[in-house]
Amino acid sequence: MSDIKEKMSNATKQKGEPKKFIRTPIKGTKYTIMVSSAKGGVGKSTFAVNLAFALKNLGKKVGILDADIFGPSLPKLIGKNIKPETENGKAIFPVDGYGIQCMSMGFLVGETTPMIWRGPMVISAIKTLTEKVLWKDLDYIIVDMPPGTGDTQLTFAQDIMVDGAIIVSTPQDMALLDVKRGIQMFNKTKINIIGLIDNMSFFKGDDGKKYKIFGEGGVEKTAKEFNKEFLGKIPLHQDLRIASDKGLPLTHSSPEHEVSLLFTDIAKKVSEKFI
C-alpha cells in the first residue's frame, strides 16, 4: 500500500471520529488527485490540465475530471467540445483530449448553458461524473475542483475516495486567507494534502527582471505554517495563457518550454508520492 493510501485508511479508522463516511474509489484509476483552490481565477484549471499532460509526458496514464459544474473549462482548455458517446445511454465514455481521458459537465450540457441548480442537483451531477464514466486503466485522475467549500467539495469529502489534494494559489494576502480555509477544510475532512503551488509567482520582463505582481513568498510561508509541502512556483507567462486559449495545453504542445519544465518537476514530485 502506498504511503498516502495507508494514511487515508488510518485516518478513516481513527477512534472518536464523529461520523464515518464510506468513500468509494472512482473506478478505472489507481489514484485520484484533486486540484483545488479556495478562490477563483488563480489558475487552478490551467494548472490541473498542464499537470495532467506533464504526468502523461512522464509515461503515466491520466484522466482529467472537470468537477466544476457551474463553470466547466475543460472543453475549452483541450479545444474539444463534443458530446461523449454512451453505452446504452447509461455509462459515458470519456472524451479523448490529446491522449488524456477527459470528462466535464461542459461536454454533457454545452459550454455556454448556464447551470441554475440547487445543491441536490449538483450532488447528483458529481455522482454521475464519478460513477458513470468509463475511465480505463488510469494511473491518475486529476480532478479540477470548483473554487470554495461548497456541495462539490462536501460530496468528494464524504463519498469519494481521494488520494490527495493539491492547493493552488497566487501569493497575495487575499488569496492566502482562502488557502488557509482550504487547508483546514481538507484537515477536517481528512483528505491528505499533497502540497501547495504558487501560481502567477512573478512575471519576467524583457529586461530579465522578475516582477512580483501578486507579492512574494506567501504560499511557501503558508505551507511552512501548516507543515505542508511546497511543490513549486509557476510564473505568469503569456505563452501559458495563449496555449490555454488555443485549447492546446503548453505541457502538451511545447513540453520543453521553460514553464513546461517547471510542470515536469512538479509532476515528478507528485508521482514519487504514489510509487
What distance in Å separates the CA atoms of residue 167 and residue 188, rounded to the nearest whole number? 15
CB of 87 to ligand ADP, least distance (A): 30
CB closest to ligand ADP, residue no: 43
Q: How many Cβ atoms sit within 10 Å of the Cβ of residue 215? A: 16
Binding site for ligand ADP (CB under 6 A): 37, 40-46, 73, 199-200, 234, 236-237, 240-241, 244
Measured from the CB atom, is 153 or 244 closer to ligand ADP?
A: 244
In the complex with ligand ADP, the residue whose CB is nearer, 204 or 221, is 204
Identify the residue whose cell numbers are 489534494: 165
Shortest gap between Cβ of 85 and ligand ADP (angstroms)?
Answer: 27
CB of 86 to ligand ADP, least distance (A): 28
Reference 177, options 15, 28, 38; nearest CA is: 38
For 14, the grid coordinates are 481513527
- Looking at the Cβ atoms of 123 and 197, the one nearer to ligand ADP is 197
Measured from the CB atom, is 45 or 264 closer to ligand ADP? Answer: 45
Cβ closest to ligand ADP, residue 42 vs residue 64: 42
Residue 165: strand pairing partners:
34, 193
CB of 13 to ligand ADP, least distance (A): 34
| Least separation in angstroms between CB 250 and ligand ADP | 9
Burial classification of residue 41, based on how many CB atoms lie within 10 Å of its CB (0-12 exposed, 13-18 middle, 19 or more buried): exposed
Of 144, 154, 183, 147, the residue nearest 51 (C-alpha):
144
How many other CB atoms are found less than 10 A from the CB of residue 142?
A: 27
Q: Are 69 and 117 contacting, i.e. CB atoms less than 8 angstroms apart?
A: yes
